Structure 1
Amino acid sequence: MTAPVSSLLERRFALAARGTDVRTEALAGTTTFLTMAYIVLVNPAILGQAGLPVAAVAAATCFAAAFASILMGLVANVPLALAPGMGLNAYFSFTVVQQMGVPWPVALGCVFISGVCFLLLTLAGVRQMIVAAIPPHLFAAVAGGIGLFIGFIGLKNAGIVVSNSATSVALGDLRAPGPLLAMFGLAVIAGLSIWRVRGATLIGIVLTTAVGWILGQVTVAPVAYSLSALTQTAFKLDLPGVFGLTGTHGLGLFEILFVFLFVDLFDNIGTLVAVTKRAGLMDAAGRIPGLNRILYTDAAATMVGALAGTSTVTSYVESAAGVQAGGRTGLTAIVTGLLFLLTMFVAPYAALVPLAATAPALILVGGLMMAPLVEVDWDDTFTALPAFLTVAIIPLSFSIANGLAFGITAHAVLKLARGRVERGDTLLMILAALFVVRFAYLAAG
């Protein structure tokens, strides 16, 4: 890269101040992309069951991830990549469209309105206040819980851990090609990391993918695909239809918007805390520099994603893989976004990188994200119980939002029990009460 360009990037992203350089950021962005690329195939498969054209959703997924990640890098200068969120896409498809009978253009309208609500909450300072209300020991617990979550996803993708009707989960067949390939990749990445080889994670993924190809573990049967497919979902959302939901679905509109808002809000907060903490961007007081810009970008990403034709766009925990690879600035997110942009032209070929090749990166990153748990006073029930519930619930319920909800509620209850509620705890108590109402509502449903 020429000196003038390198100098421009240095000034724009403050690379030296954060202890990184252009090469490291490029490697980190590529690593994040490879760990997230599965969404290009999985999201269309899920939303396709709601009646959306699969090819169109593939294009929309790539476009939304590219727009959101590049915007995050340019506006907020953090190594945080975004894409349509897992979990929320399933809720969109299976619950809102299939169970509630809401047409998919109307469901996209709900996603758009939830993005508008995110923006309004951010403008009003509510989302910032929520972040500030979370106690430091829960920040550490969220980071650790997401580490377990990432590690569990990696083990599951590798086939090392499988579902079991008797015990919920069990050890998979370690002699099968998938687990063997993943364990090979884990050994490569861990070995290179021990020797502090730059780009260890990316090298491991590429090498494991190559071995998978050689052994015939990668099979791709791409479907007919063209960028013009995007026109089948772009701007097809039905906003007037959203407000007509109350006439035929009772409180359906409010239920849908609440779920989209709640899950995305707390998934984002949890991911944001974990990734910025891992990247060393959070200050000593637990504040995240540029928080407003991050939240504004998140809101814009959800609205643009709905306009393109996909479910809620959210921050990805896989961003931690890029941080582990050395990513410290928005240049990491921009590289990830540019790769998603390129993938728009060849979306079906994302399967060339098997899950068994990216799983080792997630397992290693998950283990390294346990470090913040030393900040929790595990001998004090007041901090230990909320922290433990947060750490445990995130991977066991497959939801960052649920883990935060349990942790904040437990913290509030223990504050009340100890009789040390202060005026500054008002928002914390309100959040805990809302969580209790939410869990009661879910139980009643």
Structure 2
Amino acid sequence: MTGAIVWLRDDLRLADNPALRAGIDHGGDLTVVHVLDDQSEGIRPLGGAAKWWLHQSLTSLDADLRQRGSRLVLRRGAAPDVIDQLVADTGADGVYWNRRYGPVEREIDAGIKAALTDRGIAAHSFAASLLWEPWTVLNGSGEAYKVFTPFWRAAQAMPEPRHPLPKPRTLPDPSSATGDDLADWALLPTSPDWAGGLRDAWTPGEHGAAKLLEDFVEHALEDYDQRDEPAMAATSDLSPHLRWGEISPYQVWHRLHGKLEPHQRQQAPAFLRQLAWREFNWHEYFHCEQLAMVNVRREFDAFPWRDAPEDELQRWYHGTTGFDLVDAGMRELWSSGAMHNRVRLATASFLVKNMLVDWRIGEQWFWDTLVDADPANNAGNWQWVAGSGFDAAPYFRVFNPDRQLERFDKHREYVRRWVPADEERPEPMLDLRETRQRALDAYDRMRRA
């Protein structure tokens, strides 16, 4: 045996990393590589906030590897070409990775595995980012579940998810393979540097993820029943760490099934249900190609979206709509790269139903500005709001942002955090009642069509 390559993608951690464990067990030199593939056809380029997070996460991962006698090799290009060249450079006779579930990524990985196997090189992939892989949770007809509740019921009846793998204390010697300088990838914003709010809000990397999970369990889980109130510290904030694989769902699952106080244990099922919604979106993505571009419910292809003027879109993008909850949410997004989930629903509904703007425009804006934007959750949740996806909200359900504000932020603590009280506010850009009726009329026209 001459050595192994471990190809990391959205699994930027050492703990509970089956591919890394396989590479260690393989024997010989170990090359740990991350490939920035922005060249393969069909691969969606990362948004600006995601690039910032990736830079920080790779920096953290490289430091962890170096503490254990290894290092992270960075290479950029089409993944089949990069992996082929890396095998030639290292003489590796084994390549290991954790599975991806998007249609383009699956095709790329299958091609690489076939090419390596034909050359007598061991090539193995592992389950690491989902508790239940998409082909394992199917209904009685062998098809994907299209409604969340029966999906969740079926998933709970599956064998218990495996226990997390421990973090390796040491790693084999690295190969002599060279890589790119991370700075040369130009992932960080410079002109201007708009990432100050992201730096203040987040600590990317495996250590930050582990700390957040423990802080949530110890200090916030008991208040999880107040998770819809955006001013409350009642959510986990783990979403970007899960998106980049700095923590695995197996680690989260078993921590929530581990030692808990009675007041914590009461809220654990509700939190795990939200973790399962993430899985449901990934199952939808696996079974529905081009989730960010094509309506799952094809009748929505006939929906009469407005061609909104650019100035209207800019008011939504930057939080100057004149509706306090929408504006606070969009400003939180622009500053921190995140938005409270309840507020995401209100801002998305406002765009799709009150402004009558195609959900794909909102999905693209969130893709560029969210640190936790992934192709399944981002697109799946936008299709849920629009009514065009799996188990979607009925189109006639329109989130009134003023009522949402009164219900979930009645003391305006969240709004004041993002919209200063002394700021001169613009007039509301639309009439909620009239635009709600316009949306319902448009829905009726679609159904008749």
TM-score by length of 2: 0.24
Determine which structure has the larger helix proportion and give its number: 1
